Amino acid sequence: MTPAEIREEVLDILRDIAPDDDISDIDDAKPFREQLELDSMDFLDIVMELRKRHRVQIPEEDYPELGSMASTVAYLEPRMKDL
């Protein structure tokens, strides 16, 4: 997947997890938690959705890498390049 495709996939997951939040103007550089009403369970839902949809395993010690859209895309790009 390309970085743009990964970004769209993450946005799709965010739409499912936080349907009341406006994600149309997400700043890729800012942490998700500063922009959205996400709690730790929502964050785990994002990780689980990535696993379910794309079989991407994200170890718990890597969770900080998923703090913003930019860091999430950068983290996922090598793991999803063949999808």
Query: What is the pTM (predicted TM-score) of this model?
Result: 0.90
- Tell me the domain boundaries of the chain: 3-80
Which residue in this structure is represented by tokens 């950068």? 74
What is the SS3 string spanning 34-57?
Answer: HHCCCCHHHHHHHHHHHHHHHCCC
The CATH fold assigned to 3-80 is: 1.10.1200
Band of pLDDT at residue 81, cut at 50, 70 and 90:
confident
Q: What is the pLDDT of residues 34-72, one digit of tens each?
A: 999 888 899 999 999 999 999 999 999 999 999 999 999
> Is pLDDT of 83 > 90?
no
Token code pair at residue 15: 């739409």
